[in-house]
Each structure stands twice: as C-alpha cells, then as structure tokens.
C-alpha cells in the first residue's frame, strides 16, 4: 500500500529539518491549509513541533490551533504570549472562539473579551452559557434572517447589499417579529423561484429546528438521518431562533465520537497525543495497567485456590490459559458490537432480551464446535479423555458466560452513566478471565481428582 | 443516562407488535424519515423486521434500503419481487442507484436498466465503471455547469427557468467549451454580487477539483481539512468535469471507516448485523475464535516446554497469567493509537523511529513501576525474593516487547496491504502472550532452579 500524501509530507518535512534547511519547510507550510498544517504538527515529535509552529504564518495561528488535538493545542498555547493569543482569537468564528477560550488562561480570556466588539462579545456570551456537548455549544450565532411577508426580490436586494454571507450559508431563516422560527429559505429556492413571490410562499416549513439543549450526539444523528448541511437552533421555551449549526462542526462530532469509542475500548483517553511527553503518557497508561494488574492478581488468586489440584495434575497449568483467552476474545467481539449498537441508538432495553437469546445461541454453537476441537487436541496431546472433557466443558461454559457479560455489562454501565466502551472491555475481560480459570480448575478438581 | 429517542421507538414498536396492534406501528412509521426507519429495522429481530418492512410505505422503500446496513439490505431484497425492486430503484439518485444495483440479482439489474431513460442509463454507466471506494464511486453526475464569459444575470435567468436544482447544490461549476473545470461559482456569490459581473470575475478558482480515481478515504480527508460541502470531480487526464461529491456521502464514508476500525480490532466484519441469523453469526465469529485457539495452543505449547519447572515450583503456574495479560493490555493500547494514527495519516515511515523511542520510554517507566509493584506483592504473597525478581523482570521485558510489537506490527501489516486493526491486535496479542509465558517461565527456570 503506498503512503498517503500526509505521510509523505511528514517524511519530507523531517528530512528538511534534520539537514537544517528551513526554506523547503516554509514552502511546504505555505502550500497547506490550516487543517493540514494542524495534522502535520500532530505527527511531529515535540521539539520539531515547536520549531515548525514558530514558522507557521501568524495569520493562520488561530485556525491551526482549532484543528489540533486538544492536548497539542494546550501545549502550544502555553508557549504563546498574550498578544499572540489575542491576535489568534481575532479572526475566529464565534462558536470556534468559545471552544478556544476554554483552553486559555483566565487573564488572556479577559483580554480577548476586551478586544471584541460589543456585538461579538454579546454573541460569544450567548454561546458560552451552553454546554459544549449540546446544540447550543456547537452553534454559531451568525444567522441571516428574513421576514415571511417580503418578496424574494427584496431579499435579493438585501443580500446584494450585504455583499457577503457567513461561511456555509446555504439557507436563510424565516422568523416573525418576535424572532420565533417559522421556516427555512434556501439560497436555491431564492434563485429558482419567481422574484415576485413572497417568502412565506416558497419557504420550507418542514425543516425542524433543533432545540438548543439537544445533546451533540443527537444533533449528529439528525444531520445524518436527514442529510442536512445546516440547521436552525431555537431556544427550548419560545422556539426563538438563536443560531445555526453547520455540517463541518457535525463531522467533527462524528469523528470524535468514533475515535473515543476506538481508543476507550483499549483504556485510552481520546485526548492522547501521539507525541505526548513521556511522563504524561506514562501516567495515563499507568492507570489502566494498574487496574488490569489488580484484576490479574484476582485471577491469580483464583488459580491459587487450586494449588493442590495443580500440584497433582500439571497438565491443568499448561492448558489453563486457553479457556480464559477464548472467553476474552468472544467477550470483546460482543462488547464491540454493543458499543457500536449503543452509539447508533440501535441497542437498548427494547431489544436486550432478543439480542441475548441470539448471542447465547451463537455462543452455544461456537462453544460446541471449539469445545469439541479443544477436547480432541487435548485427548491427543495428554492422552486423557477425562481431561479432554474438562477443558471442552469449561470452554463451552465460558463462552456462554462471555456472551451474557459482553451483552449486559455495557448496557448496565451505560445506564449508570459510565462509558460502555471504556469500562466495558475491562469488566467483561475480568469476568471471563477469573471465571475461565475457576471453571477449568474447578471442573478439573471435581472430575479428575 | 436516559434512553435516546431511537431506543424508545424500538421499545414502543415491539410492545405494539407483541400485542398485535398494527395501527400504532403504522403511525410510528409514517412519522419517521427513511433513515430513521432503516435504523429502526436494523434494531429488530428478523421476524419482526420482516413484518415491519411490509408496512413501510412503498414509495420510501428505495431510500430505506439505501440507509440499511448491507447485510440487512441484502436480506430484505431477497424477499422482494422484481416489480417492487424496479419501483424502489426508480426514485434514486444515480450514485445511490449504482450502489443499490450492486446488491441486486443480475436479472433485476437488467430490468432496472431498461426502465431508465437513455440519459439516466448513460449517467449510471459512467458512475458504475468506477471503483466504489474512489471519488468516481462516490460522485453524482447531476452537476449544473456555466460558462465563464456570461453575466450573472444570465445565470440567474437560467436557474429561474430550471426552477429546481439537484439536492445539496450549493455551487455551480464553471467549465470551458471542452468541459474542462475552471472554477466554482457558489450560490452565495451569485446572490451577493453585482448581476452585471461576468462569471469569471466572481468565480472561485481556488477550490481544487478531486481526481476521479482519488481513494474515498482521501476524499473524506479533503472534505474535512477544507470544510467542504460539495466538490467537483474531474477525469484524471484532461481535467474535465465528470461529477460532484456532496458532504452527506462523505459523512457515510467517515462513519463507515470508524466503525470498521472499531469492529475489526475485535475481529468482526463491519457488515455484522445485530440480528444476523444465528448460523451466519456463528460462522463469522468462529473464524476469529479458531485462529485465537491456534495461538492459545501455541502459548500452551510454550508453557508445556517448562513442565519440569512447573512441577517443582507451582507458584510459577499461579502467577504466569499476570505477565501475559499485562503485555496484552499494553500492546492493545498502542495498537489502538496506531490504528487511529494510520487512519488520520499521522503515522508512517517518517516518524516511526521517533514514536518507537517515545513508546519504549513509556514502556520502560511503566515496566519499572508495575514490575516493582508485582515483585513486592509476590514477595509478600510467596515470601520469595527470587520469585519476585523473576516476575518483575519478566513484566518489564514483556512491556518493552509489547511497545515494539504494538507499534511495528500494524505498520508492517499496512505496508503488506493488510488491515492493521484486524490482523494487528491478533498478531500482537499472540506475541505478548507467547513471550509473556516464555520470559516468565524461562527466567524462572534460569534463576530459581
């Protein structure tokens, strides 16, 4: 598979830095857009990252910072002085600025606020009162509104006078004189309709506005199910228009959620920077390893309960990792399915029972198949039909247990408000490990001694 | 955490079905858009899914099928007769139709083709020659083009005469008389500029067209880094406009890739339907379990090499799962980081060395920390300083190995054209398991006997 453009850029850039030639670096940087520069910075070790960051065009600083992973952004912000930070904030859109201010030290925030116009400050404050993980936190307040009782002709004259619209404006919003949202007037409609028509005749009343408190995840789902490019946001009580959300911000939500699911199944924070400082990365991973060490000692404790059995039948010690490992693999498959299902809103109390029946049936068939296989190999290896029976039975039981735990634990965790991906794989694997050893050694003690 | 709207719908629907009342089901269905109906169908067990599918408004059939996971779609298609399938295909956009035809039996495909107008058939054939995983496979051919040397006034008159534009049209494309792409004219520009201006004065020449053979993943990256809503697609040789890609299709690509990464780290197919028939689900999971069984026997074989040691020191049998398990956990963290980094194009041969140095340092610190902890607990438990030394040292070495394998294996697999998420976790966990047992028991034999 050939390397992608982004990877080749990293290679070229680091080669140039190594040989001390800065002109090619400068040329490369000026050929990239801010998001590409951000991705490039995220691919670099800290020292080189700082070097390249100093070479980024100051006018792009704000945009580049916004596209960086949070941890990298915070790191670079710490090296900028107040004047640079205020300058970087100046060109941002209001919703982006609200995110950005969250990363800044208090003193700089105040300076940035002072540098804003009164109107912008008021708009910023509107956005900042909302939870970032809701429609209110995602929205921008730069909506263009029209009244229902004017002719398209008038709207067109107005637009021409403005001579510019906010980024990603594909529609104007129609509001009454109290600001209550009535409908949407797409630019396409304006251009394809008779100019003498009234706005209320051609506007789209079907496009529902999003309540300002709608969770970001739900916003993303609405955009996906209705193929939206932008959507109006209204306050919860009076249905008054307060802003709009554009698809580019929603794409970020979708990507971030997917990343979070992937990383948290491995016990990682979604902030994790590729080149996080060694001590910080160590500390973060250490928590997960430490928790796992506790569960590993728990498993060892269970094995220790059967010390007398192991002393008599050493074959049990040799074979015991198999049952635990197969249980862990089966459980992780189901946890992954459940994490996806929960993210898509396709799994919940409405179908838990039916899913459990299906997964238990799958586990039963796979348990019979692989239990028999394991038993056959064991019989051949250790020439003991009873040992073969023990391991085959233990494997079957552990797969059934893996199905039950893999399905119910993520759902239970979510109901408790915990992240099903993060805690799920840990809890479920602990169960299949501990029970894998217990079932195998317990059955061994019962049947073989 | 409260259940989402989608989950409540599943619950209500199944309750209604159970009690045999079809009127509420019908009401619920007609209140949903096709994507929501699709998500609902995907949440239902097979029998109920078929029942509900029959109640979906036939006019929506095509749209609903398109939004279903591939496996569910194929299942429902098998139950439809040719007339129904042709009807479902009729209202589709060309790019969607091309995807849809891939799922249909040959005879139906021919019938659908015959039912199309000549122009639509020609457009369909243009799209179908391209690999679905490229810009050509994602694009739609319904572009609206204008010439550079006409006035905006004329463009506006033309649009008004058309009275409708293709879905998600936020811009027209400017081409010369050979169809070569020159630039983009956004609807916003048309509305905010002086109508007497020429197209070439106000068009955007900066927006680069996507080559028709650009991989879908790269298309998604361009949309994200440039915050695009739609983009022109041109042929590879002559730069002639052949179609356009809209953001809604790109969102699907982004989501599908994220899902694939999540599921394949657990050895699952991304087609996996929640309610796949039991035998099919069994067969799919069986492959992964079978592969894992081979690696588990390999690990057991390694343990078996040390049978004589285990017979003398049973404590080694009790503790041996700890070293393997910690190695697996550490390795999976790095594999997850690498899978994300590869997906974002931030990891490659340009920074492998620097990453490896960082990860080895992290593994060293965590190995020292948890190696010492494990040693202390072991000393206290078994009252043997030498056993403590053995397990601490084995843990440290296995974490260093996990870092190396977790980093290099996914990169190596990708270079070979294999999926780093799918094969990566399996190969790396095998290495840390086998080597975990080998290091611990090997060191035990050397030091304790």
pLDDT in tens, B78-120: 888 888 888 888 778 777 888 788 778 888 888 888 888 888 8
**B30-39, B58-67, B93-102, B393-402: range with highest mean pLDDT:** B393-402
Q: CATH 3.10.580.10 spans which residues of chain B?
A: 145-246
Report how far Cα A134 is from the mean position of its chain's Cα atoms: 15
pLDDT at A2: 56
What are the backbone angles phi and psi of residue B3, rounded to the nearest 5°? -75, 150
Q: Render pLDDT for B365-391 as a digit per residue (tens, 0 to 9).
A: 999 999 999 999 999 999 999 999 999
Q: What is the pLDDT of residue A258?
A: 83
Residues of B whose CB is below 8 A from A12: 350
Stronger pLDDT, B235 or A167, i.e. the higher one = B235
Contact A131, A143 (CB under 8 A): no
> Is the confidence at residue A52, as pLDDT, over 80?
yes
pLDDT, residue A37, reads 92
Q: Which residues of A touch B261 (CB under 8 A)?
A: 258, 262
Name the closest residue on chain A to residue B44, using Cα atoms: A351
Q: Are B153 and B202 in contact (CB under 8 A)?
A: no
Mean pLDDT of chain A: 90
A227 with B221: Cβ contact below 8 A? no
> Does the global pTM surpass 0.95?
no
CATH number for domain A145-246, candidates 1.10.287.610, 3.10.20.30, 3.30.420.40, 3.10.580.10: 3.10.580.10
Residue corresponding to tokens 């946001």: A233
Q: How far is CA A176 from CA A158, A172, A182, A205, B30, in A?
A: 18, 13, 7, 13, 30
Q: What is the mean pLDDT of residues A341-364?
A: 91
List the single range of A24-28, A124-128, B240-244 with lowest mean pLDDT. A124-128
pLDDT at B2: 55
CA distance A199 to chain B (A): 16
Boundaries of CATH 1.25.60.10 in chain B? 5-133
Query: Which of A1, A67, A322 lies at the smallest CB-CB distance from B414?
Result: A1
Q: Check CB contact under 8 Å for B282 and A366.
A: yes
Mean pLDDT, all residues of chain B: 90
Helix (H, G, I), strand (E, B) or coil at A271: coil
**Considering only alpha carbons, which residue of chain A is nearest residue B252?**
A224
More confident residue, B403 or B167: B403
Ranked by mean pLDDT, which of A4-8, A20-24, A312-316 comes out on top? A312-316
Helix, strand, or coil here: A231?
strand
pLDDT at B188: 93
Instruction: Please tell me the distance from the alpha carbon of residue B65 to that of residue B72, in angstroms, as a whole number.
Output: 9
> Counting one residue from A and one from B, how many pairs have CB atoms under 8 Å apart?
397
pLDDT of residue B164: 87
Asked if B318 lies within 8 A of A329 by C-beta distance, the reply is no
Pairwise CB contact (< 8 Å): A35 & B267: no
pLDDT above 90 covers a percentage of chain A that reads 53
For B168, left (φ over 0), alpha (ψ -120 to 50), or beta? left
* Mean pLDDT calculated for residue range B415-421: 87
Mean of the pLDDT values across residues A171-181? Answer: 95
Q: List every span in chain A annotated with CATH 1.10.357.20.
A: 278-448
pLDDT of A394 > 90? The answer is yes
Q: Per-residue pLDDT averaged across A297-321, rounded?
A: 95
pLDDT class of A1 with cuts at 50, 70, 90: low
Contact B193 A163 (CB under 8 A): yes
pLDDT above 70: residue B440: yes
CATH top-level class of A5-138: mainly alpha
Residues B224 and B251: their CA atoms lie apart, in Å, by: 10
For residue A331, the number of C-alpha atoms closer than 13 Å in the C-beta half-sphere is 33
Best mutation target among B133, B164, B188, B284 (most A Cβ atoms within 10 Å) is: B188
Q: What is the CATH number of domain B278-448?
A: 1.10.357.20
For position B1, what pLDDT does the model report?
52
**CATH topology (fold) of B5-133:** MgtE N-terminal fold (1.25.60)
Segment A62-90 mean pLDDT = 86
Q: What's the mean pLDDT in A254-279?
A: 84
pLDDT tier for residue B3 given thresholds of 50, 70 and 90? low
Does position B334 have pLDDT exceeding 80, yes or no?
Answer: yes
Specify the higher pLDDT residue, B270 or B449.
Answer: B449
- Inform me whether the pLDDT recorded for A340 exceeds 60: yes
List CB contacts (< 8 A) between A169 and chain B: 188
Q: Do B286 and A366 touch (CB under 8 A)?
A: yes
> Contact at 8 Å (CB) between A62 and A115?
no
Q: Residue B111: what pLDDT?
A: 84
Burial environment of residue B168 by CB neighbours within 10 A (0 to 12, 13 to 18, 19 or more): buried
């Amino acid at each position: 598979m050939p390397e992608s453009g982004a990877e080749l850029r990293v290679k070229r850039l680091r080669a140039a830095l190594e040989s001390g030639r800065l002109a090619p670096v400068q040329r490369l940087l000026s050929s990239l857009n801010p998001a590409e520069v951000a991705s490039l910075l995220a691919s670099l070790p800290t020292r080189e990252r700082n070097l390249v960051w100093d070479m980024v065009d100051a006018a792009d600083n704000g945009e580049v910072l916004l596209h960086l992973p949070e941890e990298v952004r915070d790191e670079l912000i710490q090296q900028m002085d107040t004047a640079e930070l205020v300058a970087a904030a100046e060109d941002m859109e209001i919703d982006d600025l609200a995110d950005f201010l969250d990363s800044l030290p208090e003193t700089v925030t105040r300076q940035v606020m002072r540098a804003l116009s009164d109107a912008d400050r008021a708009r910023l404050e509107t956005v900042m009162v909302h939870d970032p993980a809701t429609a209110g936190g995602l929205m921008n307040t730069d909506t263009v509104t029209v009244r229902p009782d004017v002719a398209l002709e008038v709207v067109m004259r107005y637009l021409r006078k403005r001579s510019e619209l906010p980024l990603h404006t594909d529609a104007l919003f129609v509001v009454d004189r109290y600001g209550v949202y009535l409908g949407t007037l797409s630019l396409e409609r304006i251009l394809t309709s008779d100019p003498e028509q009234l706005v209320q005749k051609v506007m789209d009343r079907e496009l529902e506005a999003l309540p300002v408190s709608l969770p970001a995840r739900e916003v993303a789902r609405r955009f996906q199910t209705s193929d939206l490019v932008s959507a109006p946001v209204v306050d919860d009580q009076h249905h008054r228009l307060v802003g709009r959300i554009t698809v580019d911000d929603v794409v970020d939500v979708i990507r971030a959620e997917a990343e979070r699911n992937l990383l948290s199944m491995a016990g990682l924070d979604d902030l994790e920077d590729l080149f996080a400082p060694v001590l910080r990365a160590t500390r973060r991973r250490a928590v997960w390893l430490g928790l796992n060490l506790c569960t590993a000692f728990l498993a060892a404790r269970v094995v220790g309960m059967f010390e007398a059995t192991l002393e008599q039948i050493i074959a049990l010690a040799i074979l015991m990792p198999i049952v635990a490992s197969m249980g862990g693999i089966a459980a992780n498959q189901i946890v992954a399915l459940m994490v996806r299902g929960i993210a898509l809103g396709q799994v919940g109390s409405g179908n838990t029972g039916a899913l459990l029946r299906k997964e238990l049936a799958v586990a039963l068939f796979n348990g019979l198949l692989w239990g028999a296989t394991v038993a056959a190999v064991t019989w051949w290896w250790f020439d003991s039909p009873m040992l073969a029976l023990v391991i085959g039975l233990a494997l079957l039981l552990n797969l059934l247990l893996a199905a039950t735990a893999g399905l119910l634990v993520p759902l239970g965790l979510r109901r408790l408000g915990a992240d099903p991906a993060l805690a799920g794989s840990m809890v479920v694997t602990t169960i299949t490990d501990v029970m894998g050893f217990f079932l195998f050694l317990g059955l061994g003690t019962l049947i073989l001694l």
